[in-house]
A and B are shown apart, each in its own frame.
Chain A
């Protein structure tokens, strides 16, 4: 059974190919870190010095000593957590409603919600921008959070999960005199924990990395999320600060999510692949 054993081991050729690919993956990251560890003056003279010592932490010190990056980080955290909690609450309720309750027009309504999956962001952005301007919601947390709550994916995802829970549980609970609400809150919701985790991780990452809506809605620099803040530093770095400082910002912004990824790799990969495959 040589063929079988082969399929479970990496061949030397595959290993070589993978190593080259891994180098291509890692080299840009290492270069970024190297640049962030050089003094701006030295990089100004010759950026090739980033290949060699001396390295310094001065750019990171400058960030810690007072930089808008902390504010952006906090904004991103508030917006992403707000979006995640909102999506989980709304989609659990609606998912349960569509999966378990009988009411007139249910099928049609569900199809109506599913149609929203096909709508790309840029098709709704202009009226949405005007609507939020009319309500004075730009440059505010609710303004940054609300659009994420209208996405139909989570409803579809939670409805699927609720459908997979045996109906006998409902019947037993209802026979015991539980109300619809108790049934939902005390009996079924605790069973959906794996789905909540998947949807939560997926939503948090999508919101954390969203660039399109905050770019349009948050125009004041103290309301920037991390993505928009970094974009603005990137566009006018030449006038304001040095290359090393800019790259230190990039590393600083990437670190939280990379640490979270390192800790919860399995869950994150599972959530993203699971969410994509659910479509």
Chain B
């Protein structure tokens, strides 16, 4: 490096140095150390013994992990399309000037500012068979309350419903922003050409929202594959693991059983899976061209 380069580096150091220090210390180092950890048997007191691929071999044949992975993908495959469809519909309906639409927009976004612990508290007492809102309504109609949160077929669905209720705000706003960017004169031209509403929607609106839709699906998929709080607080992963997602399994492995090496291997696998799925979606979303 020449003298000029060294001087420039010295000049830049106070600006980028502080962040880089924290970034390397608290993100990059833990990331690499986590990778190392996954090849070890480790205890919480810092003791580590090299174990080669033992942890990875174990997870490949661990039925609990298999179940958690299945749950996670099943859940994401339901939540992401449903959430995308609902929020797209809401955005289309609410892309209007005026007070009414604005009030609805504000209302549908409001749940997004609440924390996961508040929304699970709210939904626990909508869904639980004792003291739940649905149970009360069911009973008033003379029917037996459904134990959504402790039913093996319904627990994961209950988590999905609470999540959708919580998450509609942001994608709706992204779709609305996408709609705002479509130039008004395209619609005017279509109206002059006597295009009906369905044709206008299919030929103009939908293709223009393609970029937004790809963004929404990518963001939501990455977020939903990391499902944790809703499942931990609403169902504790139960009954019998029927609603346990991978991140909850990682959490339990690490912080209740303290099998740090194994938990780390699980985290690496999930990381790679999320990365792979997101990249696939990105390629599928950007490469294909509309005719």
Q: Do they bind each other? A: yes
Q: Report A's interface with B, CB cutoff 8 A.
A: 1, 3-4, 6-10, 14-15, 17-18, 21-22, 24-29, 31-32, 35, 43, 47-48, 50-51, 90-91, 93-94, 96-98, 101-104, 106, 109, 113, 116, 118-131, 134, 146-147, 149-152, 155, 180, 184, 205, 208-212, 216, 226-228, 230-231, 234-235, 243, 246-247, 250, 253-254, 257-258, 260-261, 265, 268-269, 272-273, 276-277, 279
Q: What would be 5 A-B contacts, judged by CB atoms less than 8 Å apart?
A: A32-B125, A118-B278, A247-B125, A250-B122, A258-B110
> Which residues of A have CB within 8 Å of B29?
127, 131
Docked-complex contact A126 and B229, CB < 8 angstroms = no
Give the contact stretch, choosing among B13-21, B49-57, B65-73, B75-83: B13-21
> Which residues of B have CB within 8 Å of A120?
222, 226, 270-271, 274
B260 within 8 A of A: yes
17 further A-B pairs in the complex, CB-CB below 8 A; given A50-B136, A279-B219: A18-B90, A29-B122, A101-B15, A120-B271, A123-B267, A123-B271, A124-B30, A128-B26, A128-B30, A134-B46, A150-B22, A209-B113, A210-B115, A228-B117, A247-B121, A257-B115, A277-B215
Known: A8-B97, A104-B1, A126-B37. A254 touches B263 (CB 8 A): no
Taken together as a complex, chains A and B put the C-alpha atoms of A127 and B110 apart, in Å, by 35
Select which of B44, B111, B275 is within 8 A of A25 by beta carbon: B111
Docked-complex contact A4 and B16, CB < 8 angstroms = no
Taken together as a complex, chains A and B put the C-alpha atoms of A100 and B169 apart, in Å, by 35
Q: Which chain A residue has the least Cβ–Cβ distance from B121?
A: A250
Docked-complex contact B31 and A119, CB < 8 angstroms = yes
Q: Which chain B residue has the least Cβ–Cβ distance from A234?
A: B121
> Which residues of B have CB within 8 Å of A228?
117
Docked-complex contact B115 and A227, CB < 8 angstroms = yes
B39 within 8 A of A: no
Known: A28-B126, A43-B131, A269-B109. A103 touches B9 (CB 8 A): yes
B11 within 8 A of A: yes
Docked-complex contact A226 and B14, CB < 8 angstroms = no
Q: Which chain B residue has the least Cβ–Cβ distance from A33?
A: B122
Taken together as a complex, chains A and B put the C-alpha atoms of A102 and B11 apart, in Å, by 9
How far does the Cβ of A45 sit from chain B's closest Cβ, in whole Å?
A: 11
Max chain B CB contacts within 10 Å: which of A120, A134, A216, A253? A120
Taken together as a complex, chains A and B put the C-alpha atoms of A32 and B124 apart, in Å, by 10
Taken together as a complex, chains A and B put the C-alpha atoms of A32 and B263 apart, in Å, by 37
Q: Which chain B residue has the least Cβ–Cβ distance from A105?
A: B9
> Which residues of A have CB within 8 Å of B15?
93-94, 96-97, 101, 184
Docked-complex contact A22 and B104, CB < 8 angstroms = yes
Contact residues of B between 63 and 110, Cβ < 8 Å to A: 90, 93-94, 96-98, 100-101, 104-110
Known: A25-B111, A104-B8. A230 touches B117 (CB 8 A): yes
How far does the Cβ of B235 sit from chain A's closest Cβ, in whole Å?
A: 12
> Which residues of B have CB within 8 Å of A269?
105, 109, 169, 173
B60 within 8 A of A: no
B148 within 8 A of A: no
Select which of A94, A127, A209, A260 is within 8 A of B30 by beta carbon: A127
How far does the Cβ of A19 sit from chain B's closest Cβ, in whole Å?
A: 9
Taken together as a complex, chains A and B put the C-alpha atoms of A74 and B110 apart, in Å, by 23
Taken together as a complex, chains A and B put the C-alpha atoms of A153 and B115 apart, in Å, by 21
Taken together as a complex, chains A and B put the C-alpha atoms of A258 and B114 apart, in Å, by 8
Docked-complex contact B115 and A116, CB < 8 angstroms = no
Docked-complex contact B126 and A208, CB < 8 angstroms = no
Docked-complex contact A8 and B96, CB < 8 angstroms = yes
Docked-complex contact A150 and B27, CB < 8 angstroms = yes
**Those 6 A-B pairs whose CB atoms lie nearest each other, nearest first:** A97-B15, A47-B131, A150-B26, A127-B33, A124-B30, A209-B115
